Structure formats: structure tokens, C-alpha cells
Amino acid sequence: MKVMAFNGSPRKKWNTATLLEKALEGAASKSAETELIHLYDLNFKGCISCFACKTIGGKSYGRCAVQDDLTMVFNKVEEADAIILGSPIYWGTVSGEMKSFMERLLFPYSTYTDPPGSLFPRKIKTGFIYTMGLTEEMMQEMGYIPYFKRHDMILKRIYGDSEYMCSFDTYQFDDYSKVLSTRFDPVKKAKRREEVFPIDCQRAFDMGVRFAGGK
């Protein structure tokens, strides 16, 4: 059993990365092999719309033809039993690195058929962990749920079973006094970090357990 996680945050030791690490700890607790990849460490771009992955009989049919740091990553994905994506929400969407990664992760396996199908060789579990500075109420007011569900729908179609979780109102800085952020109450942020973020960590851990075949 192999579970891979992909960090779409530029930070390697903050909210998104921490939750992904917890998810992998959960998988490892069920004896899964795990790997965390930081997307900001890799040199790649989004889809270049060459359609080599859609050219019937072509050498890259069903595979991304671009050769860069994602080439070996996608080879590993095809050997994995589960993958977990993680990203902060920037301006209502996932980070730029995660968006580019998703273009390359999803498009080569998606068929231009009616209904759309999948060229991925087998079914695997997928998950998504979203982190954001907004409260849950603010997130709902801004209409993020359909965005998350759209990702969930596409992951299910291409790969198989999928689920997602959100971590709200995250603690964003070590010292709020040094950053112009008067919209937020640093005391409340710190309190939530202490009381709620550990619960989010447990939820991520439990996701990893499920992905490795546990309950």
C-alpha cells in the first residue's frame, strides 16, 4: 500500500503541510508506505494543450507528453494506491502551483467522450485538504462549496472514491503585530489554533487511516 500527498503551499511547515503530514501518519499507522511531495520544489508548468495525451495511437496517449519534474511524479502516481492533494485557498482558488499540477494530473486521463471517461489504469482513492483564513461562515457566503465539489466530482470520475476536508480560520503568521492584518483578531486566531487545529489534524490523520484500508 502506497499513499502519496502533494503540498500545494509554498510553506513546508505550516497549516497545509502539517495536515498532509498528519494524513500520511495515519496511513503509516496502518503500515502504508508514504511520500510527501512539495510542489513548490519542482520545476514544471501547467498543461500546454498539445493534446498528445488524446492522440489515438500516439506514444503519449493517456499520458502527459511534457518532460519535466512531474514526469517521474506521474509514474509514481500510477503505482500509488491513494493520493491526497493539499492547498491553501488564495483568492478563492487553490494555489497557482496546485492548479498547474491538477491540469497535468487530470487532463491526460480524461477522455473527450460522452459521457467523459477515464484512461487511468485502475481505481485508487483520492482526497483533498483545503486550508483557508476564512471562517466556515465566510466560506459559505463566498460560494466555495461548489468549487470543492467540482474537484471532488472530477477526481471521482478519473480515479475513484474521493473525499475532502477543510480547515477554516487558520493561523497565518507567527507574529500578527508585524503584518497589516487588522481584519483578523490575533487572540481569537491563536485560541482557534490551540483548540480547533488539533481536531483538524485528527481528521486528517483519520483520512490517512481510511486511505490505507483502516476504519
Convert the pLDDT of each residue in 149-191 to its tens digit.
Answer: 999 999 999 999 999 999 998 988 877 888 888 888 888 888 8
pTM summary value: 0.92
Q: How high is the pLDDT of residue 134?
A: 87
Domain hosting residue 186, numbered range:
2-211
Which 3 state secondary structure label does DSSP give 2? Answer: strand
**What is the structure's pLDDT at 214?**
58
Q: pLDDT of 59-73, one tens digit each? A: 899 899 999 999 999
Report the alpha-carbon distance of residue 209 to residue 215 in Å, rounded: 7
Amino acid at site 105: L
pLDDT value at residue 181: 82
| 206: CATH | 3.40.50.360
pLDDT tens sequence for the chain (215 residues): 999 999 999 999 999 999 999 999 999 999 999 999 999 999 999 999 999 999 988 889 989 999 999 999 999 999 999 999 999 999 889 999 999 999 999 999 999 898 988 999 889 999 999 999 888 888 888 889 999 999 999 999 999 999 999 999 898 887 788 888 888 888 888 888 889 999 999 999 999 999 998 55
Sign of the torsion angle spanned by Cα atoms 132, 136, 141, 143: positive
Residue 8 CB: number of other CB atoms within 10 A? Answer: 28
Give me the number of domains the chain comprises: 1
Q: Which residue has the cell 492522440?
A: 55
